[in-house]
Amino acid sequence: MSDKPGNSIPVCDAADPFPRAPGFEVPAGACDTHAHVFGPAGVYPYSPNRSYTPPDAPVGAYLHLHQRLGIERGVLVQPSVYGTDNRLQLDALAYLRGLGKNYKGVAVVDADIAEAELDLLQAGGHCGVRMNLLFKGGIAWGDVEALAERLARRRWHLQFLIDVSTFDDLESRIRALPVPVVIDHMGHMACDQGLDHPGFQALLRLLQDGQAWVKLSGAYRLSAQEYPPYSDVVPFARALIEANVERCVWGSDWPHPHFSRPMPNDGDLLDLLADWAPDAAVRQKILVDNPARLYGF
């Protein structure tokens, strides 16, 4: 990730344009539950308050990625650079669904969004809302609770970008919500904090009790290592799977925005799952069965 001269907003590196096929047999109906599309900025302008500027990552490149990986289903997640402007995601989903593809979306919305807008998002393939709780002071928890009540009536879920090592009362707050809760990127906690960190242990308990789902994604964001296979992440991924394999899903996090270290190849990232879950039956649950239940495929 680099800065353009005179611009304080960092510009992201592009994803590897040549994803390789994974080294294991990906089961039919496999789902990538976490990816984004970007651009062109002239049509879909970025928020002026964004923390990064991504390169274009069009829906065609997204489809190429999935064809190379053997992925048949996907979930697009609204990225922070668009704020609550979900137009690109709606257009991308309309295109994908028009091709007969099985894709869903997770939107970003204001806490007081009108029901008519939620209707439009739902008709366009959305089934959840993402909230960025990684940075303190961004969203009041009362807003989360109020929106959760409304989403429960639609049978939607809430997805949280959160660092489980820094968020106070994580366990009790999530247990009190009336909707399914999905935690991004294995809790987004740096591996050097250790498996015994109270925040990670709270996440394991939520999984064990069926109170949360977790995305086995973003290993490169948690690792202290610059290149795959990010071996320091292995104990964390395996602990999450062991806690409750029925609540684990996989995501590529393509095109890996806001990341400043060497860009991984997406085939390498999918191959990590074979190490975390050596049993093909377990991978079937993570890649196919679990996302089918969570997203309604």
Whether 253 is catalytic is: yes
Q: Which tokens sit at 178?
A: 């009336």
Handedness of CA 130, 91, 155, 253 (dihedral sign): negative
CB 265 within 8 A of CB 19: yes
CB 175 within 8 A of CB 211: yes
The CA-based angle 87-90-96, given to 5 degrees, is: 140
Handedness of CA 268, 272, 275, 277 (dihedral sign): negative
**Residue type (1 letter), 240:** L
Handedness of CA 67, 60, 160, 195 (dihedral sign): positive
Catalytic residue among 16, 163, 253, 268: 253
Residues catalogued as catalytic: 253
